[in-house]
Chains A and B, each alone.
Chain A
Amino acid sequence: MSFVIRRIGFYLVAFLVAATVNFALPRLMPGNPIDIMFSQQNSTLTPEARQALVETFGFASGPLHLQFLDYMRSVFTGDLGYSIRFYPQKVNQVLAYALPWTLLLAGTATLLAFCLGSVIGAFAAWRRGGLLDAVATPLSLALQATPAVVIALTALFTFGVALKWLPTGYAFAPALDPAWSWDFISSVLLHGLMPVTSLMIVFVGGYLVTMRNNMIGQLGEDHVTMGLAKGLSDRRVQFNYAARNALLPSVTSLGLTLGAILGGSLVTEVVFNYPGLGQTLYIGIVTRDYPLIQGQLLIMTFATLLANLAVDLLYVFLDPRLRRA
Chain B
Amino acid sequence: MFETLKVFLRNKKALMGLIIVLLYVALAVFGPMLLNVDPMQRVGRPHQPPNPDELLGTTRMGRDVFAQLIYGTRTSLAVGFFAGVIIVFIGTCLGIAAGYFGGWIDEVVSFFTNVVLVIPQLPLLLVIAAFMGQTNPAVIAIIIGMTSWAWGARVTRAQTLTLRNREYILASELIGERPLRMIFVELLPNLLSIIGFNFIGSVTYTIITQATLEFLGLGNPMSVSWGTMLYHAQNASAITVGAWWEVLVPALAVAGIGVGLSLLNFGVDEISNPRLRTLGTVAAAIKAQNKLDKQRLAESRS
- In the complex, whether B259 has a CB less than 8 A from a CB of chain A is yes
- In the complex, whether A116 has a CB less than 8 A from a CB of chain B is no
| Given A128-B278, A141-B259, A153-B239: A148 in contact with B130 (beta carbons within 8 A) | no
- In the complex, whether B55 has a CB less than 8 A from a CB of chain A is no
Picked from B218, B254, B262, B276, the residue with its CB within 8 Å of the CB of A285 is B218
What 1/0 mask marks residues of chain A from 131 to 163 whose CB sits below 8 Å from any chain B CB?
Answer: 101100110011011111110011011001100
Beyond A25-B128, A150-B252, list 10 extra A-B contacts (CB 8 Å): A145-B262, A157-B239, A260-B122, A262-B123, A263-B121, A263-B123, A270-B215, A285-B130, A296-B123, A296-B127
A290-325 contacts to B, CB under 8 A, are: 290, 293-294, 296-297, 300-301, 304-305, 308
For this complex, 30 residue pairs linking A to B, each with C-beta atoms less than 8 Å apart, are: A11-B118, A14-B114, A21-B124, A26-B131, A36-B133, A129-B282, A138-B278, A141-B262, A142-B262, A144-B262, A145-B255, A145-B261, A145-B262, A146-B254, A146-B258, A147-B211, A149-B215, A149-B254, A153-B247, A160-B239, A259-B118, A260-B120, A262-B123, A263-B212, A267-B212, A267-B215, A284-B130, A296-B123, A296-B127, A301-B120
Interchain nearest-CB distance for B166 vs A (Å) = 22
Smallest CB gap from A11: residue in B = B118
Q: Are B247 and A138 in contact (CB under 8 A)?
A: no
- In the complex, whether A34 has a CB less than 8 A from a CB of chain B is no
Docked Cα-Cα span, A309 to B57, in Å, equals 50
What 1/0 mask marks residues of chain B from 191 to 213 whose CB sits below 8 Å from any chain A CB?
Answer: 00000000000001000100110
Q: Are B117 and A141 in contact (CB under 8 A)?
A: no
- In the complex, whether B102 has a CB less than 8 A from a CB of chain A is no
Interchain nearest-CB distance for A159 vs B (Å) = 12
- In the complex, whether B279 has a CB less than 8 A from a CB of chain A is yes
Picked from A36, A154, A270, A285, the residue with its CB within 8 Å of the CB of B251 is A154
Among all A-B residue pairs, the 8 with the closest Cβ atoms: A263-B122, A145-B258, A259-B120, A134-B279, A145-B262, A129-B282, A147-B208, A150-B251
Docked Cα-Cα span, A128 to B262, in Å, equals 20
Docked Cα-Cα span, A36 to B128, in Å, equals 13
- In the complex, whether B266 has a CB less than 8 A from a CB of chain A is yes
- In the complex, whether A232 has a CB less than 8 A from a CB of chain B is no
Docked Cα-Cα span, A138 to B130, in Å, equals 37
- In the complex, whether A53 has a CB less than 8 A from a CB of chain B is no
| Given A149-B230, A157-B244, A267-B215: A10 in contact with B114 (beta carbons within 8 A) | yes
- In the complex, whether A282 has a CB less than 8 A from a CB of chain B is yes
Docked Cα-Cα span, A294 to B128, in Å, equals 10
Q: Are B118 and A305 in contact (CB under 8 A)?
A: yes
What 1/0 mask marks residues of chain B from 258 to 273 whose CB sits below 8 Å from any chain A CB?
Answer: 1101110010000000
Docked Cα-Cα span, A184 to B117, in Å, equals 39
Docked Cα-Cα span, A270 to B262, in Å, equals 26
Q: Are A145 and B216 in contact (CB under 8 A)?
A: no
Q: Are B251 and A220 in contact (CB under 8 A)?
A: no
- In the complex, whether A226 has a CB less than 8 A from a CB of chain B is no
- In the complex, whether B13 has a CB less than 8 A from a CB of chain A is yes
Picked from A141, A160, A266, A271, the residue with its CB within 8 Å of the CB of B266 is A141
Residues in B whose Cβ lies below 8 Å from that of A142? 255, 258-259, 262-263
Docked Cα-Cα span, A134 to B230, in Å, equals 33
Residues in B whose Cβ lies below 8 Å from that of A111? none
Q: Are B120 and A17 in contact (CB under 8 A)?
A: no
Q: Are A267 and B216 in contact (CB under 8 A)?
A: yes
Docked Cα-Cα span, A217 to B269, in Å, equals 14
Residues in A whose Cβ lies below 8 Å from that of B283? 129
Smallest CB gap from B114: residue in A = A10
Q: Are A146 and B120 in contact (CB under 8 A)?
A: no
Summarize B's interface: helix, strand, loop or mixed. Answer: helix
Residues in A whose Cβ lies below 8 Å from that of B282? 128-129
Interchain nearest-CB distance for B205 vs A (Å) = 9
Residues in A whose Cβ lies below 8 Å from that of B261? 145
- In the complex, whether A18 has a CB less than 8 A from a CB of chain B is yes
| Given A148-B212, A161-B239, A297-B123: A216 in contact with B276 (beta carbons within 8 A) | yes
Q: Are B118 and A308 in contact (CB under 8 A)?
A: yes
Smallest CB gap from B119: residue in A = A18
Residues in A whose Cβ lies below 8 Å from that of B239? 153, 156-157, 160-161
- In the complex, whether B40 has a CB less than 8 A from a CB of chain A is no
Q: Are A17 and B212 in contact (CB under 8 A)?
A: no
Docked Cα-Cα span, A128 to B275, in Å, equals 9
| Given A144-B262, A147-B212: A29 in contact with B123 (beta carbons within 8 A) | no
| Given A128-B278, A129-B283, A153-B239: A147 in contact with B255 (beta carbons within 8 A) | yes
Smallest CB gap from A148: residue in B = B212
B217-267 contacts to A, CB under 8 A, are: 217-218, 230, 234, 239-240, 242, 244, 247-248, 251-252, 254-255, 258-259, 261-263, 266
Residues in A whose Cβ lies below 8 Å from that of B119? 14, 17-18, 259, 301, 304
Residues in B whose Cβ lies below 8 Å from that of A220? 275
A1-48 contacts to B, CB under 8 A, are: 10-11, 13-14, 17-18, 21-22, 25-26, 29, 36
Residues in B whose Cβ lies below 8 Å from that of A129? 277-279, 282-283
